Amino acid sequence: MYVAVKGGETAIRNAHRLLADRRRGDRTLPSVTIEQIVEQLGLAVDRVMAEASLYDRPLAALAVRQSRGDLIEAIFLLRAYRTTLPRFGTSVPIDTAKMLVERRVSATYKDLPGGQLLGPTFDYTHRLLDPSLIADTPVEEPERREATGDAVMRVADILAHEGLIESDGEFPEDHQAGDITREPMEFPMPRDLRLQSLARGDEGFLLALGYSTQRGYGRTHPFVGEIRIGEVEVEIEVPELGFSVSLGRIQVTECQMVNQFKGSAKAPPQFTRGYGLIFGQSERKAMSMSLVDRALRAEEFGEDITAPAQDEEFVISHSDNVQATGFVEHLKLPHYVDFQAELALVRKMRADIEAARNGDNPMQEAAE
Amino acid sequence: MTDLASYNFAYLDEQTKRMIRRAILKAIAIPGYQVPFASREMPMPYGWGTGGVQVTASIIGPDDILKVIDQGADDTTNAVSIRAFFEKVANVAVTTHTKEATIIQTRHRIPEQKLGEGQVLVYQVPIPEPLRFLEPRETETRKMHALEEYGLMHVKLYEDIARNGRISTTYAYPVKVAGRYVMDPSPTPKFDNPKMHMSDALQLFGAGREKRIYAVPPYTDVVSLDFEDHPFEIQKFEQPCALCGARGVYLDEVVLDDKGGRMFVCSDTDHCEERREEGHTGEMPSQEAAE
């Protein structure tokens, strides 16, 4: 008998109730707190802040909890909140040369002013599961050096003194930084918008693209000029005051990739660069971003565009994981109206062939 | 953090609504042209109607009466969810009756009942670019539209005929609007294409992920692409609706058992219910077992 597909409303209500139940899990166990997530799952929180383009650790932690640890879902939650916030100004560009550095490494120099500073890194740990973590044994206090307060010179500036690397590039005086969340995207895009898109792009997607350039799909001969992680001041200009005031500090990860040089008969050769800047601590993402940024500059440098990572429209259109997951997953929505149309057509075409076989068309039969 | 969840009427802030309304006005002024707009993140996933929801959120007022359908039905889960969203954030009246609604948001269908003046049909659009599957690059397709270079589309339709003896596009069938722009009608079955032509209602199309809005103003020519010797034709069903006996409507096929038993019922649930209330019946009118 025909059973009508009714009851969508009840079904949704019950599904949400079950979801809430599964999110909470065993009620005899304590609920994980926002503070615990911020403190102990900090890199997950950082990824959510970075790809949601909203620097707010407690809210990102709330999103992680609400999404049961599904980070793309958490990014989505935070973005849907961010989009409703009014934008009341643009900050002065942050100055990463003045960063309070917690980690800073360069692969292009053995030693350099400011030193190599490993900081809290997984590098050089042996990836052996640590059973002592199960028992929650006390953890020693770290050793810390007194902060000198001196600015740590950027590697790019060392090369720039000799003119060995291209400059940061200049925008005209009246250039207003674009905002991909407020203006429709257009291709080709200026680099500021491209970098914005990459900064909120999916970590895994950018990682794979960056990796592909290393394996020959758009090689760029990269060196890690510098990676630095630390806190920078965010300032905003207040027109009534005539000077900028500090809004506070944020943690960022910056990667400056030094890439194959470029020169001509007239201009002497210079290294080129790729740039990555990410909220929080996310070295993998910052490095991937800088590889992809450099690959996307192929046209600017007159390089042949042969690889996916060099194709701006391909990369930018598919880097956003909230868009991607939504569209992929929408395939589970009902499509039966369109499927009905296809079904009828296939039946009709099969019937035509069947009719031809049964002798309605002797010519065709003879041929078969 | 506790007082986070206070949102503006219809979720979007007023500046955003103004931006979207401008895009809508431009779209109405250039029928069939895809206007880029700064699509916002919405609290439902991309591909689930974010474009339609943004258009609806920008045009809806407290006095509007909203109807939401998916696959022609008011009670499909995504339609229920979007309707509930607007009840929550805009506190508007909702209906399932086509003729009562001032705004109808739809996915994949146009209601069977003829729409009237003053009604707005908002389509949810996944891929707004009709040329996308022939040319993946936006930079190229925009040029093709600018130059009115639609030869590729006709070649595609011709190749269909050469290969299959007929045009094998059954939904999202391309149309030409006001004699200028080739437009994707969204993935509605081509059965619905004729309803777009010279419609009394305003038709707005929102594609959230692709960040495009386009429109067909009332009383505008909408012509489905075809050839003189292969004229455009719509799907025809051999049998009437099994519940209300309607003919000349789009039907869903419902599988009854695993022995090939099936029945065909109206895709437009409101239309079907109204007909049954008027006393029309089909060959399997029993509804008791359904609930």
Residue B266 known to be catalytic? yes
DSSP state of B131: T
Specify the pLDDT at position A23.
Answer: 97
Specify the pLDDT at position A6.
Answer: 58
Specify the pLDDT at position A161.
Answer: 85
Whether residue B138 and residue A313 make contact (CB cut-off 8 A), yes or no, is yes
The distance between the two most distant Cα atoms of chain B, rounded to a whole number of Å, is 66
Which tens digits make up the pLDDT trace of A17-38?
999 999 999 999 999 999 999 9
Exposure of B174 by Cβ count < 10 A (0-12 exposed, 13-18 middle, 19+ buried)? buried
Give how far B290 is from chain A: nearest CA, Å: 5
Q: B31 in helix, strand or coil?
A: coil
Q: Return the structure tokens found at B270.
A: 């409101």
Among the partner-chain residues A4, A83, A330, the one whose CB lies closest to the CB of B45 is A330
Which tens digits make up the pLDDT trace of A57-98?
999 999 999 999 999 999 999 999 999 888 888 899 999 999
Residue B282 known to be catalytic? no
Residue B208 known to be catalytic? no
CA distance B196 to B123: 12
Specify the pLDDT at position A168.
Answer: 79
Which tens digits make up the pLDDT trace of A306-343?
999 999 999 999 999 999 999 999 999 989 999 999 99
Neighbours of B45 (CB within 10 A): 22
Give the contacts of B279 (CB within 8 A, at least 6 positions apart): none
Give the contacts of B265 (CB within 8 A, at least 6 positions apart): A2, B241, B242, B243, B251, B252, B254, B272
Specify the pLDDT at position A2.
Answer: 43
Residue B168 has pLDDT above 90, yes or no: no
Catalytic residue among B51, B52, B72, B272: B272
Q: How does residue A7 score in pLDDT terms, banded at 50, 70 and 90?
A: low
Q: Chain A residue with minimal CA distance to B127?
A: A327
Q: Return the structure tokens found at B286.
A: 């029993």
Which tens digits make up the pLDDT trace of A273-284?
999 999 999 999
Residue A183 has pLDDT above 70, yes or no: yes
Instruction: Find how far residue A252's CA is from the centre of its chain.
Output: 13
Neighbours of B49 (CB within 10 A): 32
Catalytic residue among B206, B208, B266, B282: B266
Specify the pLDDT at position A195.
Answer: 96
Quick one: average pLDDT of A160-184? 85
Whether residue A334 and residue B126 make contact (CB cut-off 8 A), yes or no, is no
Q: How does residue A121 score in pLDDT terms, banded at 50, 70 and 90?
A: very high
CA distance A160 to A168: 10
Give the contacts of A159 (CB within 8 A, at least 6 positions apart): A165, A225, A258, A271
Within the 225-264 window of chain B, which residues sit less than 8 Å (CB to CB) from chain A? 235, 242, 250-254, 256, 263
Q: What's the predicted TM-score (pTM) here?
A: 0.85
Among the partner-chain residues A81, A322, A337, the one whose CB lies closest to the CB of B46 is A322
Give the contacts of B48 (CB within 8 A, at least 6 positions apart): A326, A330, A333, B78
Query: Are B89 and B11 a contacting pair, CB within 8 Å?
Result: yes
Alpha helices in chain A (DSSP H): 8-24, 34-40, 42-52, 57-66, 71-82, 155-161, 191-199, 203-214, 283-296, 312-318, 321-329, 336-355, 362-367
CA distance A150 to B109: 65
Half-sphere exposure of A69 (CA within 13 A, CB side): 7
Whether residue A341 and residue B242 make contact (CB cut-off 8 A), yes or no, is no
Which tens digits make up the pLDDT trace of A202-237?
999 999 999 999 998 998 889 999 999 999 999 998
Whether residue B139 and residue A188 make contact (CB cut-off 8 A), yes or no, is yes
Residue B288 has pLDDT above 80, yes or no: no
Residue B72 known to be catalytic? no
CA distance A44 to A62: 12
Specify the pLDDT at position A314.
Answer: 96
Q: Among B18, B41, B80, B263, pick the best mutation site for testing chain A contact (most A Cβ within 10 A).
A: B41
Instruction: Find how far residue B82's CA is from the centre of its chain.
Output: 14
Which tens digits make up the pLDDT trace of B170-221?
999 999 999 999 999 999 999 999 999 999 999 999 999 999 999 999 999 9
Q: Return the structure tokens found at A31.
A: 């609920």
Q: Which residue has the tokens 């199960």?
A: A134
DSSP state of B115: P
Which tens digits make up the pLDDT trace of A249-271?
999 999 999 998 777 777 788 89
Specify the pLDDT at position A360.
Answer: 67
Residue B165 known to be catalytic? no
Exposure of A253 by Cβ count < 10 A (0-12 exposed, 13-18 middle, 19+ buried)? buried
Mean pLDDT of chain A: 90
Within the 142-161 window of chain B, which residues sit less than 8 Å (CB to CB) from chain A? none
Residue A361 has pLDDT above 80, yes or no: no
CA distance A242 to A245: 10
Q: Chain B residue with minimal CA distance to A341?
A: B170
Give how far B245 is from chain A: nearest CA, Å: 15
Helix axis angle for B50-59 and B14-29, nearest 10°, is: 100
The 3 state secondary structure assigned to B200-247 is CCEEEEEECCCCEEEEECCCCCEEECCECCECCCCCCCCCCCCCCCCC
Among the partner-chain residues A80, A340, A344, the one whose CB lies closest to the CB of B41 is A80
Q: Which CA distances in Å does B291 have to A6, A336, B268?
A: 7, 21, 18
Query: Are B9 and A48 a contacting pair, CB within 8 Å?
Result: no
Instruction: Find how far residue A147's CA is from the centre of its chain.
Output: 31
Specify the pLDDT at position A322.
Answer: 96
CB pairs under 8 A between A and B: 158
CA distance B204 to B24: 8
Q: A251 in helix, strand or coil?
A: strand
DSSP state of B257: S
Give the contacts of B184 (CB within 8 A, at least 6 positions apart): B125, B127, B128, B129, B130, B172, B174
ipTM of the complex in this document: 0.76
Residue B5 has pLDDT above 70, yes or no: no
CA distance B26 to B39: 15
